[in-house]
Structure 1
Amino acid sequence: MSNEKSQIVDTKALYVNPDRGVATLNYSQAYFTDIYSLINSDGFKHIVKLYLDSRNPDNDDDAFDNASVDEFVDVLKKIMVDDDSAYGTYDPKDILASVEELYSYYRSLLRVSVINYNDNKIVGNEFRTIDTQFNDLVRKVYRIVEEKLQGFENRTYRQVNAATNATMLVQQHNWRIPEGYQELKDIDFINTVMLRPPMMMHTKSNKREGVFSAVQQNPVARFHGERGKWYCYPAKIGESLAFIYFNVDYLVNGIALSNLFQLASPEEVEGAKPDEIVLFGLEKTEGMVSHYFHDEANDIWVGEVPYTDKTTYFGYMKKMCLTVHNLHQIYAGKLPIHGSMVKIRFTNGKEKNVVFFGDSGAGKSESIEALQELADDKIVSMETIFDDMGSFTLTSGEPGIYAQGTETGAFVRLDDLSSAVAFNNMDRGVYLNPELSNARVIIPADTYENVVKPHHIDMWLYANNYSDEVGIHRFDTKDEAEKVFIAGKRKALGTTDEVGMSTTFFANPFGPVQEEEKTRPIIEKTFSKLFDQGIYVGEIYTHLGNDKSKDALSESARELLDVLMNQ
């Protein structure tokens, strides 16, 4: 397939970028309710042209794939009305093969329909029904042609997402726009999203590289995005409000957000000023790498991610959002935690909140999985409070210290999921590059209300994936614990561009690394509070840097289970 810009279809009703594998269908500009208006539409011809251009005539034995767009469409129209002149010089088997390939080509794209709520509020309330009816129509057209060409009716029907994978209801908002941010004014906000999971999506990159750094100029000054080419996902990340603007070519990332961060309501956006803004897919950025800027005058953290093939990996979207959120937290005196927190209820009546801490690949989620598999008959429930990033808040009174989460979903490596967890969530998941190494799935994990609720802490464990020891170890002193947590040692597993032993300040390259001087006093106060209150602070030896069999991790999980149930 050609990667030329000329291959992009860009009309008011239809946008398709084959190179990025994305398409938007604007129902507010064109919507079809019968098969003849659909097959006669310019949009249908655009899709046929993209399909035919993707074929290689020199290696294609199907003569029908060498037809012109008009001829291709005319033949299909004749078939639908039983006009035998449709076949002419073409074999019905060739036509059927081309139709099947066209259908597969279109469905290989991420196809998202868009309805503007401001244009028609009545239609907006029925946007899911409207999208479902269009899916039924496209499926109907395909089946009529298919069955006429094969000469018999099917005996098995598969209700695939024929027209779209998802639909978005969008609208304009009057938010509190500071001076210098006027270029963002016309960009539509996402009001509601409907996904059709499980969704299998693909990006041109499958790994994140580097650390985000600060710039001295506000990236908003370089934003000149058009309405319809950019959308804003207003997210609630923890208790902060983030406006995540994404270029339509990053539609995979933008849609996937709905399984990760709570979508803010129109009431929460109208008249509000965001704590963070992310611009995802800027054409011109300094050095073509990701940066952030602190607008101190307006108290807004602004993140920018450049338009490159590399940044199509969802990790860039997630981590930039969490970086600017964490920086906002640090300036508010809160401590960002790179880790996972679970609330475990045991059959003996005990309930424990455990936080697993460490950088990517240290074994946080694997430790939780090992514990769950080992103690399945001893656990009543295991609830995820946060999966990747949370924060600790110190209070002058009770409880002294508490934890909160950021995400309502989990961005997990498929290899890390037990088969039970994977299959139980399969029908709700957004899958990214499932056929590749470091394949990921984004699945809902908890309600927003529970994620941001203050949770007490019973145990905080550093995920140590490099030591030869087995089990868990409780630190005797604050200084001993603080030294290990701040060093952030781990053996990299290839989920980023790092290999071998590495150290990251406080195991968190998403905020604390950028603001080490401001973070250290918060760390000091946090450990003092934890040890004053007698909260268990230790480490769990995961061995994942050396032992992929997870046998040693199972032994460590067994010791952890004993401590949790009996102490």
Structure 2
Amino acid sequence: MTESSKVETAALYMNPARDVAVLNYSNKYISDIFTLINSKELAEVVRLFLEHRRHDEESTKNYFEDTDPKTYLDTIRAVLLNRDDAFDKYNREEILDSIEELYSYYRSYLRIGVLNVHGSDATTNTFMQMDNQFNELVIKTYRTIEEKLQGSRNKTYRQVSAGTSACVLTQSHDWPIPSGYEALKPIRFLDTLMLRPPMMMTTPSNKREGTFTAVPDNPINKFHGSQSEWYCFPAKIGESLAYIYFHRDYFVSGISLANLFEVADAKDVAGHKPDLILLFGLQETEGGVSHYYHDTENDIWVGEVPYNDKTTYFGYMKKMCLTLHNLHMIYENRLPIHGSMVRIKFSNGKNKNVVFFGDSGAGKSESLEALQEIADDKILSLETIFDDMGSFTLTDDDLYAQGTEIGAFVRLDDLSSAVAFNNMDRGVYLNPDRKNARVIIPADSYRRVIAHHGIDMWVYANNYDKEIGIHQFDNKDEAKATFIEGKRFALGTTDEVGMSTTFFANPFGPVQEEEKTRPIIDKVFDRLFDQGVYVGEVYTHLGTDKSKDSLNESAQELLDVLMNS
């Protein structure tokens, strides 16, 4: 659809090209059926719907949909008022069929209710109550019209998210804005979020491409966003404070962040300069791709991601956030780890902290799933410390790991049915009907994620060799060479296919700063081998064997080593 097909009123924004709708409760809040039916906002929704139906080649012919929005809504008002002329021009069945399609069309959007805390008495409880009441109003309006057209009451009622998919409370904060960053001042922060899971969302893109590179000029100079179009998600990524600014057309990614990163509290934002700033949805970036810039004067890592169909995939937002965080870690002399870490409590009384390491598709998640499947009652509990990215920190007498995310962004195919179903009522699902379908589910509390965790085992996920089981490296040089080479058989979760290598299996920070990362790698391996930590590799067979048999055999050997060491 054309640019003119968007809805843009003070209270409602809808973009059919992104399937995103933003309802501004601060500017207008509708609380009864006839105000809703007579609103400019509903007339605009009907206009979009009729345009959509006329362009939909698969839609069945419905003469009621050949009319204009005014006549359409006049007819609905007549139905609600039980007027005799309600069916003079169109029959009940046509009107009912169209109302069903209108209801489904509106609900196909990601619908975000927004309420600003300033200028109102909004609190966490009242903003959720307002959103609940609006949802009840929409579903009540739909059912009232439906039952009048049917001439009978329904026998089955389904309490779906009729009005909104989620609601956010926004707030302005005073923070020490450096010179040159003044354009960010009007943009409001997301303070509190309410999701209505399971949330099923679609985006034009479903795969990430390439890596992020440095640019010589600060992207902040390209930011000219308005308060009505942009929002800021304040996130705690590990111990980094990140201000993630995104255009409202990227609300799919913006709202999904709530299941992945801890929302920074007002006290963490007010008066605090961030370590990281991300500008997501800029109209222009160098070469039309994603970049970052290190503002050394203000010690801020600034990322830029362009507005286009490709960057609608959530992986762009997640990985740019993690790239900025990892770069920050490297400059803090910490080592970013591309992998997952779990704390396993065994039935024999032992507890082990295990880190699985490797690039996308190497088999980190699959190894963990296999371990759980074959363990039976040998594993009492398993706690995820980090699912995709963490960091190792060296002190004078210690080496510990920390996580970055409170949630997991995983392929649906990688989840066992038990894990998938147990988390369905909390999940944010992205393109569930397509290849590389993903879900974002909460995994652990922020307090536990950033705690200092010791390391009992660190294994490289090897998905290309034919060996079965696990292998412990005899010396640190052999181990370091394998980890640094970052070899894997790419499975198509990014734009890579076939055998590839990535420095330290991490294209999100170490690749960009290899020279600074290598000395940290050396120190970490020295400490690990001095302390006798198990450093090895687990053979996942994902690149060569599609059955689970070989992976389960490797998981069995891993289990035996963990329980007997």
Q: After TM superposition, is the score higher than 0.5?
A: yes
Q: What corresponds to 2:458 in structure 1?
A: 460
Q: What corresponds to 2:109 in structure 1?
A: 109
- Supply the distance in 2 between the matched residues of 1:228 and 1:129 (Cα, whole angstroms): 23
Q: Is the 8 A contact 1:236 1:263 kept in 2?
A: yes
CA displacement, residues 138-177 of structure 1 (integer Å, 9 cap, x when unaligned):
0000000000111110110000000000000001000110
Q: How does 1:8-87 map to 2 (within 5 A)?
A: 8-56=6-54, 60-87=60-87
Q: What corresponds to 1:298 in structure 2?
A: 298
CA displacement, residues 327-366 of structure 1 (integer Å, 9 cap, x when unaligned):
0000000000000000000111000000000000000000
Q: What corresponds to 1:142 in structure 2?
A: 142
- Supply the distance in 1 between the matched residues of 2:328 and 2:351 (Cα, whole angstroms): 31
| TM superposition shift of 1:33 | 1.1
In the alignment, structure 2 segments of 5+ residues that lack a partner are none
Aligned residue for 1:512, secondary structure, equals coil
Amino acid at match of 1:147: E
Q: Is the 8 A contact 1:188 1:228 kept in 2?
A: no
| Runs of 4+ residues over 2 Å off in structure 1 | 56-60, 121-125
- Supply the distance in 2 between the matched residues of 1:469 and 1:135 (Cα, whole angstroms): 56
Amino acid at match of 2:215: V
Aligned residue for 1:453, secondary structure, equals coil
Q: What corresponds to 1:5 in structure 2?
A: 3
Q: What corresponds to 2:511 in structure 1?
A: 513
| TM superposition shift of 1:123 | 5.4
Q: Is the 8 A contact 2:488 2:499 kept in 1?
A: yes
Q: What corresponds to 1:551 in structure 2?
A: 549
Q: What corresponds to 1:254 in structure 2?
A: 254
Aligned residue for 1:412, secondary structure, equals strand
Q: How does 1:361-400 map to 2 (within 5 A)?
A: 361-397=361-397, 400=398
Amino acid at match of 1:121: D
Q: What corresponds to 1:222 in structure 2?
A: 222
Aligned residue for 1:97, secondary structure, equals helix
- Supply the distance in 2 between the matched residues of 1:61 and 1:298 (Cα, whole angstroms): 61
- Supply the distance in 2 between the matched residues of 1:223 and 1:451 (Cα, whole angstroms): 33
Q: What corresponds to 2:312 in structure 1?
A: 312
Aligned residue for 1:126, secondary structure, equals helix
Specify whether residues 461 and 154 from structure 1 end up closer, same or farther in structure 2 by C-alpha distance, changes over 3 A only. same
- Supply the distance in 2 between the matched residues of 1:384 and 1:124 (Cα, whole angstroms): 29
Specify whether residues 418 and 166 from structure 1 end up closer, same or farther in structure 2 by C-alpha distance, changes over 3 A only. same
| TM superposition shift of 1:547 | 1.1
Q: How does 1:415-430 map to 2 (within 5 A)?
A: 415-430=413-428
When normalised by structure 1's length, the TM-score is: 0.98
- Supply the distance in 2 between the matched residues of 1:542 and 1:13 (Cα, whole angstroms): 52
Q: Is the 8 A contact 1:260 1:410 kept in 2?
A: yes
CA displacement, residues 287-319 of structure 1 (integer Å, 9 cap, x when unaligned):
100000000000000000000100000000000
Q: Is the 8 A contact 2:343 2:352 kept in 1?
A: yes
Aligned residue for 1:93, secondary structure, equals helix
- Supply the distance in 1 between the matched residues of 2:548 and 2:230 (Cα, whole angstroms): 44
| TM superposition shift of 1:89 | 1.9
- Supply the distance in 1 between the matched residues of 2:35 and 2:116 (Cα, whole angstroms): 22
- Supply the distance in 2 between the matched residues of 1:464 and 1:301 (Cα, whole angstroms): 33
| TM superposition shift of 1:122 | 4.0
Aligned residue for 1:513, secondary structure, equals coil
- Supply the distance in 2 between the matched residues of 1:404 and 1:241 (Cα, whole angstroms): 15
- Supply the distance in 2 between the matched residues of 1:5 and 1:440 (Cα, whole angstroms): 30
Q: Is the 8 A contact 1:116 1:124 kept in 2?
A: no
| TM superposition shift of 1:56 | 2.3
- Supply the distance in 2 between the matched residues of 1:309 and 1:415 (Cα, whole angstroms): 24
Q: Is the 8 A contact 2:183 2:224 kept in 1?
A: yes
CA displacement, residues 5-48 of structure 1 (integer Å, 9 cap, x when unaligned):
11111121111001100000000011111100011000000100
Q: How does 1:319-468 map to 2 (within 5 A)?
A: 319-397=319-397, 400-468=398-466
| TM superposition shift of 1:60 | 4.0
Q: Is the 8 A contact 1:117 1:124 kept in 2?
A: no
**Residue 162 of structure 1 pairs with residue 159 of structure 2:** no
Amino acid at match of 2:499: M
- Supply the distance in 1 between the matched residues of 2:4 and 2:373 (Cα, whole angstroms): 52
- Supply the distance in 2 between the matched residues of 1:563 and 1:447 (Cα, whole angstroms): 29
- Supply the distance in 2 between the matched residues of 1:469 and 1:356 (Cα, whole angstroms): 18
Q: Is the 8 A contact 1:115 1:124 kept in 2?
A: no
Q: What corresponds to 1:527 in structure 2?
A: 525
RMSD: 0.9
- Supply the distance in 2 between the matched residues of 1:143 and 1:127 (Cα, whole angstroms): 24
| TM superposition shift of 1:121 | 3.0
- Supply the distance in 2 between the matched residues of 1:505 and 1:217 (Cα, whole angstroms): 26
Amino acid at match of 2:333: G
Q: What corresponds to 2:491 in structure 1?
A: 493
- Supply the distance in 2 between the matched residues of 1:423 and 1:201 (Cα, whole angstroms): 18
- Supply the distance in 2 between the matched residues of 1:493 and 1:410 (Cα, whole angstroms): 19
Q: Is the 8 A contact 1:490 1:501 kept in 2?
A: yes
Amino acid at match of 2:424: M
Q: What corresponds to 2:562 in structure 1?
A: 564
Aligned residue for 1:375, secondary structure, equals helix
Q: How does 1:193-208 map to 2 (within 5 A)?
A: 193-208=193-208
Amino acid at match of 1:429: G
Q: Is the 8 A contact 2:116 2:122 kept in 1?
A: no
- Supply the distance in 1 between the matched residues of 2:376 and 2:141 (Cα, whole angstroms): 49
**Residue 473 of structure 1 pairs with residue 471 of structure 2:** yes
Q: What corresponds to 1:286 in structure 2?
A: 286
- Supply the distance in 1 between the matched residues of 2:448 and 2:121 (Cα, whole angstroms): 31
- Supply the distance in 2 between the matched residues of 1:566 and 1:206 (Cα, whole angstroms): 42
CA displacement, residues 377-421 of structure 1 (integer Å, 9 cap, x when unaligned):
111100000000000000102xx2000000000000000000000
Q: Is the 8 A contact 2:183 2:223 kept in 1?
A: yes
CA displacement, residues 426-462 of structure 1 (integer Å, 9 cap, x when unaligned):
1100000000000000000000000000000000000
Q: What corresponds to 2:98 in structure 1?
A: 98
Aligned residue for 2:4, secondary structure, equals helix
| TM superposition shift of 1:124 | 5.7
Aligned residue for 1:56, secondary structure, equals helix
Q: Is the 8 A contact 2:189 2:233 kept in 1?
A: yes
Aligned residue for 2:381, secondary structure, equals strand
CA displacement, residues 475-525 of structure 1 (integer Å, 9 cap, x when unaligned):
000000000000000000000000000000000000000000000000000
Aligned residue for 1:23, secondary structure, equals strand
Aligned residue for 1:162, secondary structure, equals coil
- Supply the distance in 1 between the matched residues of 2:490 and 2:291 (Cα, whole angstroms): 24
Q: Is the 8 A contact 1:354 1:457 kept in 2?
A: yes
Aligned residue for 2:252, secondary structure, equals helix
When normalised by structure 2's length, the TM-score is: 0.99
**Residue 236 of structure 1 pairs with residue 266 of structure 2:** no
Aligned residue for 2:301, secondary structure, equals strand
Identity of aligned residues (%): 66
Amino acid at match of 1:46: E
Aligned residue for 2:376, secondary structure, equals coil
- Supply the distance in 2 between the matched residues of 1:358 and 1:447 (Cα, whole angstroms): 24
